[in-house]
Amino acid sequence: MEVDVSKIEPGQLIRVEWRGKPVWIVRRPQEILDALPKHDDQLRDPASEQPQQPGYAQNGYRSIKPELFVAVGLCTHLGCSPTYLPDSFGEQVQGVSSGFFCPCHGSKFDMAGRVFQSVPAPLNLVIPPYYYVNDATILVGADKEGA
Ligand code: FES
């Protein structure tokens, strides 16, 4: 499925559907990207060692281009859809301004979908396969090389 990402504003999240699942696409501002490495010690899998993403998203941003975050919007605990808290996540994790909070049992994920420690969710959010068709468009659901 092709998605026009050119009009997503900094900090904005849009939702699309892929195989019946919600997929989030978020344009992350530079200050969010700069903050990502600062709370690694509070995460369960900061280096994304578990196979929750394609190889091209196994990096500090969990994305192809740092500014654009693409993830399956389902909690890895029991599959609720976490809430995007662009401004008030600090109430959940002190010192971390933005993230995702799952209302079902309180799991917390950062702006790269990495799960915090001491919550029920065991794994980082899933990153689906995707690639850039051009600068303005991504295709969700397939890798460039393959199908
Ligand atoms: S489903 Fe998200 S914390 Fe349980």
Assigned domain for 56 exists: yes
Tokens of 136: 């303005």
Nearest CA to 14 out of 147, 126, 140 is that of: 140
Determine whether the shortest distance from the Cβ of 78 to ligand 1 is under 6 A: yes
* Enclosing domain of residue 92: 2-140
Determine whether the shortest distance from the Cβ of 77 to ligand 1 is under 6 A: yes
Contacts 24+ apart (CB under 8 A), 102-108: 102/75, 102/77, 104/75, 104/77, 104/78, 104/80, 105/77, 105/78, 105/80, 107/75, 107/76, 107/77, 107/82
Tell me the CATH number at 126: 2.102.10.10
Residue tagged active-site, from 105, 133, 137, 144: 105
Distance 86 CA to ligand 1 centre (A): 19
What's the pLDDT band for 144 if we cut at 50, 70, 90?
A: confident
Assigned domain for 29 exists: yes
How many domains does the chain divide into? 1
**Mean pLDDT throughout 95-100?**
97
Determine whether the shortest distance from the Cβ of 142 to ligand 1 is under 6 A: no
Assigned domain for 147 exists: no
Assigned domain for 146 exists: no
Distance 120 CA to ligand 1 centre (A): 7
Tokens of 126: 């899933």
Assigned domain for 131 exists: yes
Assigned domain for 106 exists: yes
Distance 133 CA to ligand 1 centre (A): 34
Q: Which atom of ligand 1 is nearest to the CA of 102?
A: 2
pLDDT at 129: 97
Determine whether the shortest distance from the Cβ of 105 to ligand 1 is under 6 A: yes
What digits encode the pLDDT tens for the residues 123-137? 999 999 999 999 999
What digits encode the pLDDT tens for the residues 27-74? 999 999 999 999 999 999 999 999 999 999 999 999 999 999 999 999
Assigned domain for 92 exists: yes
| Mean pLDDT of the residues in the chain | 96
Distance 7 CA to ligand 1 centre (A): 31
Assigned domain for 145 exists: no
